[in-house]
Amino acid sequence: MNIAFIGLGHMGGPMARNLIKAGHKLDVFDLVSRNVEALTAAGATPATSVQHAVARAELVVTMLPSSPHVRSVYLGADGVLAGVAAGVPLVDSSTIDPHTAREVAAAAGKHGNAMADAPVSGGTGGAEAGSLTFMVGAELALFETIRPILAQMGKNIVHCGAAGTGQVAKICNNMLLGISMIGVAEAMNLGVALGIDPKVLAGVINTSSGRCWSSDTYNPYPGVMDNVPAARGYTGGFAGELMLKDLGLATEAAKQAKQSVAMGALAQQLYQLWGAQAGGAQDFSAIINLIKHRAATGVQS
């Protein structure tokens, strides 16, 4: 199949590569020419513009950093809708706000193109391994059409409902993730300050009602687990600034929906505080260091 792939960064690059490996012909575009060259070396055909990239596409996939990029790549004078044939399905895998996702999908629909929002989880590791989870917002027919292609880049392809619901699922999950990560950080720090061994505490939590992914799979307290960012100085993983971005999307969507999210908003502000103090490049579990008492020396109560 001829696939246009736009946005070839840390996530988009390996995703496009997996499509090439699966036998598709790719027309690719990115503002960073080095990214285009890398994909060209892997067998893709470079395009000089978005419009050019989508000209002969039977499917368009985009992976972009934020809502304004998506709006401009799809709706701009030189954008996807200006160049793509009617009837070609469109898949945006960016993580953006549901409102923009729905607006762009509606514009695409008017142009004769069914469009899906399909944000992913799994990080760059999952992108390379082809083991991403796709959360797909699309009409059922479109979902069935694109599912086999997405399955060449990911493992779990979940249908979340109509356009926009992929984004909704992503930001709701990640807001909860941000909240529970800080919750685990507070609980672990508190326990240790009160004199319990962190491994013992994690053991109790992981078999009890406090159990969560941030505790049993990605524990932020150093020494509790191997093979997590906390075991390697918070390198790798999911950068704090990306968590901050997702929390910003969640609270903005909540504002528009008139839904109070006090814990989500506080999580956002604490990640902002941590980012201002330490930069946002470390893994998001490093937030535990924001709230660790710097002179802590064990039991104080």
State CA 204 to chain mean position distance: 31
Site for its own copies in 199-238 (CB under 8 A): 200-201, 203-205, 207-215, 217-218
177 binds its own copies (CB under 8 A): yes
**Residue whose token pair is 């356009």:** 163
Site for its own copies in 78-117 (CB under 8 A): 97-99, 102
**Rounded least distance, CB 228 to its own copies, Å:** 12
275 binds its own copies (CB under 8 A): yes
Query: Which residue type sits at 232?
Result: R
Return the axis-axis angle of helices 262-278 and 165-193, rounded to nearest 10°.
Answer: 70
Stretch that binds its own copies, among 37-45, 53-61, 72-80, 156-164 (CB under 8 A): 156-164
Pick 207 or 235: Cβ nearer its own copies: 207
Reduced to 3 states (helix: H, G, I; strand: E, B; else coil), residue 106 is helix
Please report the DSSP string for 28-65 in residue order.
Answer: EE-SSHHHHHHHHHTTPEE-SSHHHHHTT-SEEEE--S
196 binds its own copies (CB under 8 A): yes
Stretch that binds its own copies, among 2-10, 31-39, 143-151, 262-270 (CB under 8 A): 262-270
Torsions phi, psi of 195, nearest 5? 105, 10
Task: Return the residue of 53, 88, 135, 225 that touches its own copies, per CB under 8 A.
Answer: 135
Q: Which of 9, 4, 68 is nearest to 33 (CA)?
A: 9
Q: First vs last Cα of the chain: how many Å apart?
A: 66
Pick 3 or 157: Cβ nearer its own copies: 157
Q: Confirm whether 245 is a catalytic residue.
A: no
250 binds its own copies (CB under 8 A): yes
Residues with catalytic annotation?
A: 170
